[in-house]
Structure 1
Amino acid sequence: MIPTRFSALRPSAQQLYRMLGLLPAPEFDAPVAHAAVGGPLTAGGALDALTDAGHLIELAPAPGASTLRYRMPGPSHAHAYQLARNATGRHQDELTDAHTRICRSYLLSASAAVELLEPRRETSSSWAPADVPRTPHVNFLDGKSAWGWLHSEHSTLTGLIHHQDTPGTVVWQLVDVLGPYWRITGSTGTSTAAHHRGLHCARAARDQYGTSRMLTATALTELAERPRRALSLLGQASDLYGELGDRAGVVRAAYGTALAHAALGETDIALPVWWRTVAEAHNVDDPITANHALLKIAGHHLGEGDHLRAAALAAVAIEGFAAIQALYCQVEGEVLLGRCAIAAGDFALAVNCLESAADTYSRGSALRPMGAALMYLGDAHRAAGSNDMARDCYRQSRDAAQDRGDEAAIKQATAAIDELDRVP
């Protein structure tokens, strides 16, 4: 039935149909189809023909976006995939070029979306070849529309990263661009696998710049389980950055090195490196790294019981992030400031900071950091004697942990609820 309907399509619709088989997921934005065939608004007639033939279903735009979305029903997508995989001759050449254009389209749009989540972060997008368009095919009005697109397209983006035919340079650039999104959403497993793939591809392409960036970013995914390996990767990255004359890269590698030393319990080594990172990051105009280093220093002082110094440093970092509109970095600082306020007994400030943080994470569907903020918010309410409000926060945190299947967080939230239930 499907092959018969495919044969009845006109050549331009058949061409697009085969190209859509290249997509790892069956849903896509209209601009992706235009990119596949090679230009803006050139796929409109083919999209209409595929929709009329039942090979596509028109969907509402992604949240906050204005472009139409489509879904290819499973049997049609499987058939298109087989056609793409078995193509030969002219069709194979067309599909190879289309796959590259699709990948570039997603790379540029993902870069534009993440820029709204973490502004002023240097990415690899400026290293695209001169003959590749640099304007994203999806325009985002605000952070909400960027979040909506990233959530909707995440399975496709990760599918392209792991697709054997995706050009290696595009693989590591996609990984590089999506790093902040994975950090904010707490997608640890996805991030680790993608970074290892990105590092492999950058090395295979003998791309020194890509390799240095992937070494740095991959090291950060190794911190919890293998901090000594992280140190090794960061050392390699620093050497490569030095050979390239990339001072900002050297600073980012130093920041990561301090994280690795802290993970090994070597805070006497980490602290001076973080302080040096603060100064040097400002010298290379990298406020993101500078203020993240300040937050790490503040976290250390909070752990040592010096909540006043920690609060002062966190406030400086929050102001720095706010100045460049790096909202989710700013929220990380607000969570830390809320924890400092709990330690200082200023529960009103703690509740204000942590409620704001939890709300921001909730609007971005960032369940892991939202759950952590809710746990701290519950602690603030409990310390203030508002046990019912504390219990509600712990339950919301547990619900978020259950939604993402995080057994450790479920256990932590359940223990907090049980402890409250034992209070007379």
Structure 2
Amino acid sequence: MAAAPEDERGTNVIGGSAHLYGPAVQARDVHGGIRIYSSAPDRLPTPRQLLPVPAHFTDRAEEQAALDRMLGTRSDDGAPQPLIVINGPAGMGKTTLASRWLHTHAPAFPDGQLYADLRGHVENGPANPGEILGQFLRAFGTPAVPADLAEQASLWRSVTANLRIAVMLDNAFSAAQIRPLLPGGSGGLVVVTSRSRLSGLAMDGARFLRLRPLGSAAGLELFIRGAGEDRVAGELPAVREIVSLCAGLPLAVCLASARLAARPGQPAASLAEELAPDEDRLTVLEIEGAGTVQKALDASYAALGPRPALLYRALGLLPVPSFDVHTAAAASGRTPAWAARRLDELVEANVLESAGPETYRFHDLVRVHARDRATATLTGTERERITRRVTDWYLWTATEAQRLITPIQLTLPRTYAHPAQWSAPFGDDRAALDWLDTRRTHLMAVLRLAAEHGWHATAWQLVDAMWPLFLRMRHYDLWIEAHRTGLEAARRDGHREAERQMLNSGAIGLSAAGRTEEAADWYTASLRAAQEAGDRRDEGQALLGLGGCRMAAGRYAEAVSDLDRAVETWSECGYPRGVALARILLGEVALAEHDHGRAIARFTLAREGLLAVSDPHDAARALAFLGRAHARAGDHVKGAAQMREALATFTASGAAHWQARTLEMLADSARERGDTTAASEFRARARDLYEVTSPADARRLG
């Protein structure tokens, strides 16, 4: 198994864990035995991701009873029906019904309730299944998610095989979007909401519920709950007319009731007259009931004061599906305190809904209306200023996260079109990493927006700022997509240093995802660019990467040539750490060619060099390989002791991938000396660790 090249930012990321958890020991001379005690890592809380249910939820007793019957239906093997599809027009209340019903049945699914918005009918949708699988897997503690969709789906089924979970997949676009997200085993339940019927899911055993408009009595009850009994007292005939004009759409009823409540002096009959004309429609969305929603939205918008209306329009231009106070402040160009007050007003007007703690979102149709209002009332320059402010805020905040997590790697410049006095929504590196990870889809959406608008410097700077996210969380699909975009942006911007950074970082991601040939192409381009720029350190990095790719392909002579050149280059420019890392790979080549003496010499030099520059993690990697080389040479006692010492370091630091690699080496050594029992135990432990760090390796071990 090939060791990983070292990237010029200073952390090994190919084939090993880049994030160290728990206590670590770093020492020079140690005498006697070493015992390392570490507490188990904190368990993640059981996922409880379902959306909150609005307080004014009304009726739907018949539909809930139908869902109960579907849940109770059993297939031929006695397993509960695992897949239910709730479909119907926009604004019909599908999401609210599903949320209410799943909350009611939460005790039946004690292992977790998951939620994902599949963005089937929004501008930046639909969501890629791999994005959702990554979100779900990480909710259950999977630290490294594969890049390949098939591997992600396979791992997801393995993780959930024995779990009793409920999964809500909201706003689905197609059956193909759903299938990879189905959990394994028979104890789970999946509820899908969609405007489409998704009839293709019938072959997957789905049961379907078509959601109909509210009846007149339920619509009236919902309206009264929203507006208040005192507000409609004495005006029930006019209220019934309003409800009738809302055509049974819960969204329209809620908007109309909020509109009336916001105008205490307006008679209900006056609102009914405003909703009656039928000349305006949301033509951009040709769906049932759109005209009614357009009227209700126009009326709600007219009731907003100038300040919440300003924020309403600005939020309609955002490329992200949800937002917090800081994002709203950036969009409006105001303070977070100002934005918080306006968000409360928009929630009160029922045009904005809560999507979790301190998180807000529009209904799809409301977002369309807000964008339409922005287009109709703002100039192109004003609209661009809003989106640039939000893009700048994401870039600045991601950069602050990078500054906390990996400060030594923040070497490239940052430029802002609209600099402001922002404050970071986190205080330490762990919180910063959490911010990057929970907003990774937002960051990618902002990156795509920057690229589409030709904001080239912003685009590659954002990719550079996201480096800690890729390094620590290893979202290979996003890693690769981001660096393709960043590389193109750096080239268009004419920034050669950024171009080399994108090539290096992108090649590391490609290698980590197993795309060795493509990684080699990127390293070759990086080498050429480094030579043209006279950057010897970048040149050594590209050679190291190429050497790792050649070695992975079994082309050992070419690998040695590249690695020897990396050693020479880094020796000349004074980078001893790089020299030591190249020697690890040279030792691996020697080990693969059964030249045990040369391998031992390379690994010994590598370990000494890494200890000298205070790199205990990579020194432990060199020690693990050194132990394997000694065992292969016949000195099993010494070799096993060295591998166990390296394993202790990896265990203490939480480097799960390298624990598995070392256990696999111990298993191979035990088998070679005839101890099949120990070999089986080591192999089983390695396979268990690979299940969460490298599913392909877990399958390889069988």
TM over 0.5: yes
8 Å Cα contact 2:523-2:543 kept in structure 1: yes
Which residue of 326, 337, 341 corresponds with 1:45? 341
**C-alpha distance in structure 2 between counterparts of 1:139 and 1:373, whole Å:** 33
Counterpart of 2:538 in structure 1 is 252
Superposed CA deviations along residues 151-201 of structure 1, whole A, max 9, x for unmatched, are: 101111111122223722111111122234324433333222221212222
Which residue of 348, 358, 368 corresponds with 1:79? 368
8 Å Cα contact 2:540-2:569 kept in structure 1: yes
Which residue of 306, 309, 320 corresponds with 1:11? 306
Shift of 1:33: 1.9
- SS of alignment partner, residue 688 of structure 2: helix
**C-alpha distance in structure 2 between counterparts of 1:38 and 1:319, whole Å:** 50
Superposed CA deviations along residues 45-77 of structure 1, whole A, max 9, x for unmatched, are: 2122233334142644xxxxxxxx413154367
**C-alpha distance in structure 2 between counterparts of 1:20 and 1:293, whole Å:** 51
| CA shift in 2, pair 1:209/1:345, >3 Å | closer
Which residue of 376, 387, 399 corresponds with 1:99? 387
Which residue of 438, 458, 478 corresponds with 1:152? 438
Q: Give yes or no for the alignment of 1:225 onto 2:522.
A: no
Query: Is the helix fraction higher in 1 or 2?
Result: 1
**C-alpha distance in structure 2 between counterparts of 1:321 and 1:47, whole Å:** 50
**C-alpha distance in structure 2 between counterparts of 1:56 and 1:185, whole Å:** 30
- SS of alignment partner, residue 304 of structure 2: coil
8 Å Cα contact 2:540-2:570 kept in structure 1: no
Of 70-79 and 98-107, deviating more is 70-79
RMSD of the TM alignment (CA)? Answer: 3.5
8 Å Cα contact 1:315-1:333 kept in structure 2: yes
Structure 2 unaligned blocks of 5 or more: 1-251, 256-296, 592-598, 630-638, 671-677
Aligned length: 368
Superposed CA deviations along residues 218-250 of structure 1, whole A, max 9, x for unmatched, are: 4555661235533542244225534xxxx4xx4
Counterpart of 1:298 in structure 2 is 584
Letter aligned with residue 453 of structure 2 = D
Counterpart of 1:132 in structure 2 is 419
Q: Give yes or no for the alignment of 1:273 onto 2:565.
A: yes
Counting only pairs closer than 5 Å after superposition, residues 303-322 of structure 1 correspond to structure 2 as: 303-305=589-591, 306-307=599-600, 309-310=602-603, 312-314=605-607, 316-317=609-610, 320=613
Counterpart of 1:185 in structure 2 is 473
| CA shift in 2, pair 1:239/1:137, >3 Å | farther
| CA shift in 2, pair 1:10/1:131, >3 Å | closer
Counterpart of 2:354 in structure 1 is 57
Which residue of 686, 690, 700 corresponds with 1:397? 690
Q: Structure with the greater relative contact order (CA < 8 A, sep ≥ 6): 1 or 2?
A: 2
Percent of aligned pairs sharing the same letter: 18
Counterpart of 2:409 in structure 1 is 121
- SS of alignment partner, residue 304 of structure 1: helix
Letter aligned with residue 522 of structure 2 = A
8 Å Cα contact 1:212-1:236 kept in structure 2: no
- SS of alignment partner, residue 294 of structure 1: helix
| CA shift in 2, pair 1:263/1:380, >3 Å | closer
Which residue of 313, 316, 334 corresponds with 1:21? 316
Of 103-112 and 2-11, deviating more is 2-11
Counterpart of 2:427 in structure 1 is 141
Q: Which runs of 4+ in 1 moved over 6 A?
A: none
Q: Give yes or no for the alignment of 1:203 onto 2:491.
A: yes
Shift of 1:91: 5.1
- SS of alignment partner, residue 87 of structure 1: helix
The TM-score, its normalising length taken from structure 2, stands at 0.46
**C-alpha distance in structure 1 between counterparts of 2:480 and 2:468, whole Å:** 13
The TM-score, its normalising length taken from structure 1, stands at 0.73
Letter aligned with residue 566 of structure 2 = W
Larger radius of gyration: 2
8 Å Cα contact 1:112-1:136 kept in structure 2: no
Superposed CA deviations along residues 327-376 of structure 1, whole A, max 9, x for unmatched, are: xxx6455445444445521243132122134x25xxxxxxxxx4x33422
